[in-house]
Each structure stands twice: as C-alpha cells, then as structure tokens.
Amino acid sequence: MTAADNNPLIDRRQAMRGAAMAGAGAMFLSPAMALSASSDMSAIRRAAEAGRQASIQRIQDWIKLPSIAAEDRNMPEGADYMASLAQDAGFQHVEIVPTDGYPGVFATLDAGAPRTLGIYFMYDVKQFDPAEWSSPPLAGAIVDRPGFGKAIMGRGAVNQKGPEATFLAALHAIRAAGRKLPVNIVLIAEGEEEIGSPHFKQVATKPNVLAALKKCEGIFIPASWQDKNGNVSVNLGSKGIVELELVASGEKWGRGPKGDIHSSLKAMVDSPTWRLVQALQTLVTPDGNTPAIDGWFENVRPLTAREKALIAETARNSDEAQRKAILGVETWIDDLPFEQALQRLAQEPTVNIEGLVAGYTGPGGKTILPGAATAKIDLRLVPNQTRAEAETKLRAHLDARGFPDVEVNVSGGYDPTETDENSRLIRTELATYERAGITATLNPRLAGSWPGATFTAPPVSIPAGHFGMGHGAGAHAPDEYYVVESTNAKVAGLVDATMGYADFLYQLAAIR
Amino acid sequence: MTAADNNPLIDRRQAMRGAAMAGAGAMFLSPAMALSASSDMSAIRRAAEAGRQASIQRIQDWIKLPSIAAEDRNMPEGADYMASLAQDAGFQHVEIVPTDGYPGVFATLDAGAPRTLGIYFMYDVKQFDPAEWSSPPLAGAIVDRPGFGKAIMGRGAVNQKGPEATFLAALHAIRAAGRKLPVNIVLIAEGEEEIGSPHFKQVATKPNVLAALKKCEGIFIPASWQDKNGNVSVNLGSKGIVELELVASGEKWGRGPKGDIHSSLKAMVDSPTWRLVQALQTLVTPDGNTPAIDGWFENVRPLTAREKALIAETARNSDEAQRKAILGVETWIDDLPFEQALQRLAQEPTVNIEGLVAGYTGPGGKTILPGAATAKIDLRLVPNQTRAEAETKLRAHLDARGFPDVEVNVSGGYDPTETDENSRLIRTELATYERAGITATLNPRLAGSWPGATFTAPPVSIPAGHFGMGHGAGAHAPDEYYVVESTNAKVAGLVDATMGYADFLYQLAAIR
C-alpha cells in the first residue's frame, strides 16, 4: 500500500506529471562535493562506484522473483531471498518469522555501536499485467527516462526493491571500503504490504524482534521520491486508513433477489442497489465532504499551531495553479484558499468511494435488477482515531440507521502515525538532505497511509518515517521504473542515493 | 430489446428455470388433431412437413449472417437478406427503407383478401462472445435440449430469427399447398431493435408504409414463448421504458477531479461519485421503491376493474411459492400478498438501477478518488406516461435539485402500449391458441417493453402484440436455442408452430 498510497498530491500513475508540481528547488549539490569532506565518505564512494554494476544486478535479480501475497505467488521463496540479501549485506542474525499469513524476515547487524537504526522492508510487489508494459515487467531492462536518465524498468523497481537494494548497497560499500558501520542495524521485512500488512504486527511483536526494535533511534523505509527539481518531503506522520467494501445483497437483506433478475420486476421486488445508495448517503454530509458516521470526530485531535505553521510554509512555497492543473481540479473543497485546503488535507478524516460495482457494468445497458451492489470505500483517519474504533463506529452507525444487513468487509488498514520532529530520526533526515543540497519540506502529516503505526504505536513506540534520495515512479502501474544513472543534476542516481544512505548512518551516529 | 425485455417474471438467461414457473397447464392437443378439420389445413400441413428441412436450413443460413447495429456489423447485408427472405416467401413488393440510422425493410403480399395482417420483424441480433458458447454461435448446430427436444443453437435462434422464419415457413407452406393466402400481409422490419429502435418510427411513418400499416387489423411479432407446460400469455399492452446513464463527473461539474486522483486528496477535493450518490437518492423514496421525480405520477392511469380482474385470475392460477423460489425472492415489495404484488407489477412506474460503475471495479481496493461515476438506469413507464415526458421530467427534477451538471444520457426507449382485448388481433390470438389446445392467459400489461408503441400510438394506431407457438430460450445469453423437433407433447415443434401461424391467418380471415 505504501508506494501507491504515500503521495498525497498526485496519482502515482502520473508521477511524471506529478514531478512537475514541486516549487522551485535548491540546486542539487553533487554528493561527491558535499560528502567528500570525510575520508570515510571518499573511500565509501569509491567502493559504491566499484560496486555499481553489482548493485544494478542485485535489483534486476530481485525483480525476477515477484512475491505477490494476493496471488500466493513465490511467498516462501521471497522470504528466503530477502533473508539471503540480508546475509549478503552483512547481517549476522537473519531469521524467517512465521505468521498466521506469510512470513516476515528479521535481521540484525551488530556493529558494537552505541546507536541502532531500524529499517523496514517489504519483499512483496503489486500484481501486474505484462500486456500493459512496454518492457517485460520481470526483465528489469535498462531504459531511458527523458528528464531523469537511465532506469531499471520492472515490477517493484521503485516500490520498493530499488530503494531497498540501494540501502543494502550502502552496507556493501561501507564493508568494501573497510569501514565499520557507525550504527547497528535492525531490519524487519514483510511480504504482505500490498495486501495491507494484516500480520505484520505479529512479526514486530515477536519478543526478540520487539526487543531489537525498541533499541532503535527510529525506523525508516527506503524511498526514492525526489521530484525533478530534486526536492523531497520529510513526513512527521501519516493518516490511517481502513479499506473496505460495503455490500448490500438480497441474500443478506432477505429482501430483493438473491441473483440478478429482469429489471421489469422492480415494480414488485426490492432493490439491493437502491439499499446500498441509501446506506451510503448516510455516511457523509450532503456535499459528500464530511463524514457523518456517528461519533466519528470524538477522538480527532485538531492541528497544533506548529503543524499549521508548517502547512502555511508549504502553501507559500507551492505553485497552487500548477497543482490544480496537474490534478485536473478547478477548485478546492468549499472553495477554500490553498492554505486552508492543505490544512484540511492534513486535518480531516474522510470517507471516500474508490469504486462502485453493481449489476451490469459493460457498455450500454442491460435490463436487470442486480442481486447485490458493492461500494469500495477508504476511510482516512487522523490522530487520535484508530482503525479499530473506525470499524466499530461504522458498523454501529449502519446498524442504528437500519442497515444491519449491509456488510462491512474490511480488507486492510493502518492506524494514523505521528513522529516527533525533534527525534534523532527526523533531525538526521533533515541534516543528511541538507548536506546533499536537497530542499526538504517538513510535512506535518502525510495524507496517505503506511504501516508505520506498527512502529510508532505501543508496544514498539519508536519514531518512523521515509528516507532516501533518487527517483522512480509507476508504483502499482505499468512501466514502473527506478533511476540508476541520473542525467538530472538535481536528482540522485544509484551511487549518489547509495551515498545518501551511507551519510545518513554517519549522521545518525554523530547527531546530538 | 424485445426478447430480453419481454418476460416480466424471469431473467431470460434462466429460461430453463423460468419454464418451470407456470401453473398447471392444459394438455397440449396436437395441432394435427385440432386443425385437420379443414382440408386446407391438411394440405398445408403436408407441405409444411415436406418443407421442414428447408425451413430449418433457412433459420441456420440466416443465423450465419449476424447483423449487429451496435457493432456496425453486416447491416446493409442484413437488410438485403431480410428483403430476399420476403421475396422468397411471396411478397410482391419489397423495399429497403433508408433511415438516419440503419435501413428498415417494408414488404407487402397482396392476396386480394378483405383483411390485412401486419407482421413486425427485426433482422438484427444481440452481441455475443463465442468463448461463452457450448456450440459456435453462428453454426446453428442441432443440439438436444432435455425436456424439449432437438433445437437449433445460435445467436438469434429465438430472438427472433427462428420464430420469424417459422412465420415465413407458413407462407411457403400455404403456397406449396396451392392455397391462396386468406389475408394480405404487410411486413415491416428493422435492424436496430437491439439498440432500442432509434429510427424505427422513420420506417413506420414513411407515407406508403404508414398507409399500408393503417389498413392492418393489427400487427404482431412472431414469438415462441411456450413454457414446458405449453402455456402462453396474450399481452394487452406493455410498459414503456427509457434506458439511460446518469453521469457525474469533475469535467461537467467544475468541482472534483477531471480524472482519477489519489484517494487521500478527498480531504481537499470534491468527489463526483458522492455527487452521483446524492443525485440518485433524490429519484426514489427512501425504500427505493417509488419514483420521487417531480410530477412523475401526473399522467399515470390507474388500473381498470377489468385489468385488476385479469391480474386476480393470474394470481389464482399461479404458484407463488415457485415463482419466489425461481426468482430468489423471499418477499414482495412492502410484504404485499401475491395478487397485490402482481397489480403493482402492472401498475407502477419504476426507477431501477441496472448497474453502477465508478472508479476501481476489480478485486480488492485501489486508493483513488474517481473523476466520474455512472449509474445505468431504466425507467419503466405506464399509460399514459410517455418517453418524452419522462426524459423532460427527469432533467427538470435534477436541475431543480441542484444537479444541472449530472448528465442524463438516454440510449433508447419505448412508450407504453395498449391493445384492446376486443380487437380482431387479440381475439384471433385467443381463438388460435384455443384451437391448438393451448392455455392462454390474458395479461393486461407486460411489465417488459417492446417497440409496439410505434404501432399502437398515432399516427399508425393499430392493435399490436406477440403471437406464436413453440419454444426457445437464451435470448441475449450464450447457448440461445429454438426448438425444431419437440419431444414435449405440450410444446410445438417447428411444423406445429408453422401450422399455428397458418391457422392464425385463416382465423383472422374468418373471425367476425
């Protein structure tokens, strides 16, 4: 869910367009210049450059083994492969962690350092249809991406095998340069991210894993989300999400038909589709913009003054007209000014319809009265709402409104997350970006969602976020790619992104 | 639209199950016994039997040429073929009638008789996917249909090439027997029935066609809807229909996105899908059962005492529990008793949702905010509503409710029809069925719809209905078939159905 779900302002299918959204960014200073002050860094860069081809091969090989939980495809194989990647990168303890679903992987690299960094990986990828791709999705071919450079094209290239393998490349380079890691590393990986991480908490709370995680200064997922101006966001949290289907059916209702019947019978038979429509419209205000589920706002924490200030800064530094153009939007909700619209983006829980499916969905019409109707819904949650609370309240609301038969089939979800901007994790992210000459915007709350709450909530309770340089796009879409040789001076290629991770480790060790 | 839309109590995909719905039927007396009183009939039957193989071949050959208006497939060829079929059957004047769409065919067979019968044909068929068929849909193979006998399987077999060619077989047989036709015949055919007959009125009101139609005692479409007990309905009219799509989009609304965007943006961007839901729920009462469109009932004529009496008789003669079981329905609307539910079926206009399509419709979820949402709707109309009135009132209602941007895209429709049970057409139908020992139920109003209003309304203004013996099923579905050799003593095969048409012509000539 992460990669498709993390960018609040663009559909990642349109990442090339999305990249144009950023405001003016600072000139990207080559990491070669920014980092060469340290002799460690010079040696590591030489090793990263020497290992560049091996690093590309590592990504390509990994892409050849797609693990897809929704299709029960290569799941044990994917966990084993993840484990071997960790071993090769120098982790001394590597462990497959069984769950009630597909296994996770836990690994530790003890450098004898005072501080420890957590790293979160997913070894699974989104489903794909080879027919939609311009290059075979498992081939990992090197292709040209105008404006960015040479990229690996394949399923998982950016979501997340490319960035993850780049982090591993940093560990390889530090070892190859004969340097000792400045921090210890705890790696936790799952194979069910794309189906909503239903068993990830089992991995994270296994006693030895939990104990290791709790020692971490924080944990991040490697990410490569530089836009074409080189800019990145540092997220201080994210909304939660519940994805579900609301289903009205004659079967459950006891009224209407159990299957599709001829539409003329509407005069004497109830319609489950109309029932769904009636149930749906109780969930939001008449403008469709504010949840109207009973008690929904009870635990909603308003934005702090600091969060509002950060949003105001983002609004000032963004090109509103360009964002509207890219999104195909003429006006924000309630005709709000941009700053207030961005506040709403961070502040408000939402009830969104992702899809409607009932009866005949092909071209033209077909005279049927459908036996069932489905709305695909996502509920976005803000602190201090929880996923469990949301599910309970939605069910209670429908029951109270006379829709006990309308099914709520939850497929996955995450709690909201929050990470203190004064944590060493966030301060290290900002420091590392600054050393690389990258403009980082502090985002108080990602409107998208990710499994970070597993880390920020008890019992783990550590800072969690996203970090990384470089660029890729097409997560969940055809022609997914990850740039390995950048022709854009503001955007890191594979070696510069590798050095970004290496520098992060040294900064985390050094920061006060 | 006819065949898929004519049977109010079953989905024609389930016609085998539907056939079991009828109440106890009278024993089917062989037409050979019922009709042999007349020496004309004996000679014609011998000719029909001699021509049996040619009649089967005529149906199979016609099936090989599928004309599909929605696909612009074989349309001029289909009209030419229809014209040649008419010529072969003895029509002296045969004319292709151009329209703004695809052409119709008009033909007359002048027997110098005092009375004239109108016949309505469609030469087009519904789209099909060969992969879904157990026998190639254009092959017209002879297959076994247990409980019925040997049948031709192919697209158009029952809807309507089989029954139509059987009517032509009657004309061939009468000529081969050396008999003069007892009535003159006016044939009018169209190639756009399956897309809602958008240009059929142009055919029917061409001056020479109109003049010929106005001379007819009435007009029928050949039909083969005997159930497995041999029973048929005689319809005294039908509801009208408007098929349309309601579309809400960011494009038209000027709010929300023009395409799909990331669902987290719901917090700052309006949703066209929620707008569709809100517009939809204004169209009906909260139970989804009664139209709430402004002024909808202004011109609705209540059922007459006679219509209610006919419905009461149908209710008495039907097995309610069996009908519910076949439809997968536990309770009728408002928990009505069966007779009142059947009254409602005939009486009430409806707003039905055939389908909902918005955003992501595949398995699982996808975090998008869709740029547009569509509801496929059919409006069933009763006398004295009209299609034009319905379209105007729906638009006005949406405008008045603040939804001027929600598009109403009408794809087709028909006005309601009414035919006097005392007309010669209906009396002849009843007499012919009775002579064949077939139980015919008078149905005051078909809840389905067909293009009959073109005939019953001005300027044509003649009785119109359905007539025919025999059996077939699977209209609009895979494995469509038409029985040619019946093993069910209560159901006519090809020759008996041919004789049914021949006898109709003699009865129409003779009835007072």
- State the average pLDDT over residues B52-81: 97
Q: Decide which of B35 and A337 is more confident.
A: A337
B186/B212 same-domain check: yes
Task: Look at residue B105 in the predicted model and tell me its pLDDT.
Answer: 98
Distance from C-alpha of B82 to C-alpha of B192, rounded to nearest angstrom: 13
Q: What is the pLDDT of residues A115-137, one digit of tens each?
A: 999 999 999 998 899 998 999 99
pLDDT attached to residue B476:
83
Rounded to a whole number of angstroms, the distance from the CA of A214 to the nearest CA of chain B is 30
Q: Is there a domain that residue B208 lies in?
A: yes
pLDDT of residue B195: 86
Contact A314, A307 (CB under 8 A): no
Provide φ and ψ at B70, rounded to 5°.
Answer: -60, -25
Smallest Cα distance from B172 to chain A, Å: 36
User: Nearest CA to B62 among B150, B158, B145?
Assistant: B158
In this predicted structure, the answer to whether residue B248 has a pLDDT above a threshold of 70 is yes
Q: Is the pLDDT of residue B246 over 50?
A: yes
**The pLDDT of residue A389:** 98
Show which of residues 439-468 on chain B sit within 8 Å of chain A, judged by CB atoms: 446-449
Cβ count within 10 A of residue B505: 26
Same domain, B276 and B169: no
Burial group, residue A316, by CB count within 10 angstroms (0-12, 13-18, 19+)? exposed
**pLDDT tier at B17, thresholds 50, 70, 90:** very low
Q: Identify the closest residue of chain B to A336 by CA–CA distance.
A: B268
The predicted structure's pLDDT at residue A27 = 34
If phi over 0 gives left and psi between -120 and 50 gives alpha, with beta otherwise, what is residue A307?
alpha
Q: How many residues does chain A have?
A: 512
Residue labelled with tokens 């899809």 = A355
Distance CA A477, CA B439 (A): 61
CB half-sphere exposure, B219, CA atoms < 13 A: 28
pLDDT surpassing 60 at residue B8: no
pLDDT single digits (tens) A483-512: 999 999 999 999 999 999 999 999 999 999
Q: Are the beta carbons of B345 and A268 separated by less than 8 Å?
A: yes
Q: How many domains does chain A have?
A: 2
- Residue A26: pLDDT band (50, 70, 90) is very low
Whether residue A160 has a cis bond before it, omega within 30° of 0: yes
For residue A127, give the 3-state DSSP assignment: coil
pLDDT confidence bin for B475, thresholds 50/70/90 = confident
Cβ count within 10 A of residue A4: 21
Domain match, A247 and A224 both: no
Interface with chain B: mutation pick from A353, A385, A408, A445, highest number of B CBs within 10 Å: A353
Q: What is the rounded distance in angstroms from the CA atom of residue A138 to the CA atom of residue A160?
A: 14
CA–CA distance, A79 with A85 (Å, rounded to integer)? 10
Query: What band does A38 get if pLDDT is binned at 50, 70 and 90?
Result: low
* Cβ-proximal residues to B496 (8 Å cutoff; 6+ apart), any chain: B30, B31, B32, B436, B469, B470, B486
User: Is residue B317 in a domain?
Assistant: no
In a domain, B134, yes or no: yes
Check whether B474 has a pLDDT greater than 50: yes
Nearest residue, CB atoms, B360 vs list A270, A355, A370 = A355
Buried b (16+ CB within 10 A) or exposed e, B125-155: bbbbeeeebebebbebbeeebeebbbbbbbb
Cα separation, A214 vs A108, whole angstroms: 13
Q: Select from A393, A414, A435 the last residue of a domain.
A: A414
**What span, in angstroms and rounded, lies between the C-alpha atoms of A460 and A462?**
6
List, for residues A402-421, the tens digit of each pLDDT value.
999 999 999 889 999 999 99
B19 has a pLDDT exceeding 50:
no
Q: Which DSSP string corresponds to B186-223? A: EEEEES-GGGT-TTHHHHHTSHHHHHHHHT-S-EEEE-
What is the rounded CA–CA span in Å between residue B265 and residue B375?
23
Q: Kindly list the residues from chain B whose CB atom is less than 8 angstroms away from the CB atom of residue A370.
A: 353-355
Q: Round to whole Å and give the CA distance between A425 and B51.
A: 90
The answer as to whether A446 is a domain residue is: yes
Q: What percent of chain B has pLDDT over 90?
A: 84
List pLDDT tens digits, range A246-278: 999 999 999 999 999 999 999 999 999 999 999
Rounded Cα distance between B478 and A180, Å, is: 70
Flag if A364 and B411 touch (Cβ within 8 Å). yes
For residues B359 and B385, membership in a common domain is answered with yes
Contact between A218 and A116 under an 8 Å Cβ cutoff? The reply is no
Q: Is 90 exceeded by the pLDDT of residue A365?
A: no
Domain boundary among A414, A440, A459: A414
CA distances from A487 to A153, A224, A228, A470, B147 (A): 17, 16, 11, 12, 74
- In chain A, which among 364-403 make CB contacts under 8 A with chain B? 364-371, 373, 376, 378, 380
For residue B284, what are the β-bridge partners?
B291
Query: So what's the pLDDT on residue A228?
Result: 86
User: Closest approach of chain A CAs to the CA of B62, in angstroms?
Assistant: 25
pLDDT of residue A367 exceeding 60: yes
Lowest mean pLDDT among A386-400, B23-37, B167-181, B313-327: B23-37
Q: Using CB atoms and an 8 Å cut-off, which of residues 165-204 of chain B contact chain A?
A: 195
Instruction: Specify if A434 maps to a domain.
Output: yes
Same domain, A454 and A385: no
Q: Are β-strands B232-235 and B372-381 bridged in parallel, bridged antiparallel, or unpaired?
A: unpaired
Q: What is the mean pLDDT of residues A177-184?
A: 97
Q: Report whether pLDDT(A189) > 50.
A: yes
Q: In this model, does residue A427 exceed pLDDT 80?
A: yes
Q: What is the mean pLDDT of chain B?
A: 92
Which range marks the domain in which residue B403 is found?
A: 240-300+349-414
Q: Please give the distance of CA B204 from its chain centroid, rounded to a whole number.
A: 18
Task: Report the alpha-carbon distance of residue A500 to residue A292 in Å, rounded.
Answer: 45
Task: Give residue-wise pLDDT tens across range B217-242.
Answer: 999 999 999 988 899 999 999 999 99
A193 and A126 Cβ atoms separated by less than 8 Å: no
pLDDT at B37 over 50: no
Domain-ending residue, one of B393, B414, B435: B414
Q: Which regions of B250-328 does DSSP assign to beta strands (E)?
A: 261-262
Name the phi and psi angles at A327, rounded to 5: -80, -10
A312 in a domain, yes or no?
no
Residue A326 distance to chain B (closest CA, Å): 10
Do A34 and A113 fall within a single domain?
yes
**CATH number of the domain that residue A245 is part of:** 3.30.70.360
CB contact under 8 A, B355 and A359: yes
- B68-86 pLDDT, tens digit each: 998 999 999 999 999 999 9
Instruction: Tell whether B470 and B396 lie within a shared domain.
Output: no
Can you tell me the mean pLDDT for A363-386? 95
**Looking at the predicted structure, is the pLDDT value of residue A477 above 90?**
no
Residues on chain B touching A260 (C-beta within 8 angstroms): 11
Q: Calculate mean pLDDT across residues B364-386.
A: 95
- The tokens of B111 are what? 């027997």
A289 at the B interface (CB within 8 A)?
yes
Shortest distance between the Cα of A366 and any Cα of chain B, in A, equals: 6
Kindly list the residues from chain A whose CB atom is less than 8 angstroms away from the CB atom of residue B257.
Answer: 327-329
Mutate to test the interface with B, among A352, A369, A381, A401 (most CBs of B within 10 A): A352
Say yes or no: B184 and B122 in one domain.
yes
A271 lies within 8 A of chain B by CB: yes
* Rg of chain A, C-alpha, whole Å: 24
A77 lies in some domain: yes
pLDDT in tens, B448-458: 889 999 999 99
Task: Test A265 with B8 for CB contact under 8 angstroms.
Answer: yes
A440 and A496 housed in the same domain: yes
Percent of chain A with pLDDT over 90: 84
A416-A421-A423 Cα angle (round to 5): 100
Taking the model in full, what pTM does it have?
A: 0.85
pLDDT score recorded for residue B38? 67
What pLDDT does residue A454 have? 96
Using a pLDDT cut of 70, give the percent of chain A over it.
Answer: 93
Cα–Cα dist B301/B373, whole Å: 35
CATH number of A14's domain: 3.40.630.10
Q: Is the pLDDT of residue A32 over 60?
A: no
Confidence at residue A265, expressed as pLDDT on a 0 to 100 scale: 96
**B174 and B38 within one domain:** yes
B348-365: average pLDDT? 95
SS3 A154: coil
Shared-domain flag, residues A47 and A169 = yes
* B227 and B284 both lie in a single domain: no
For residue A239, pLDDT over 50 is answered with yes
Give the one of A257, A262, A447 whose C-beta lies nearest to B265's C-beta.
A447
pLDDT at B36 over 60: no
- Let me know if residue B82 belongs to a domain: yes
Query: Does residue A294 have a pLDDT over 90?
Result: yes
What was the pLDDT predicted at A289? 98
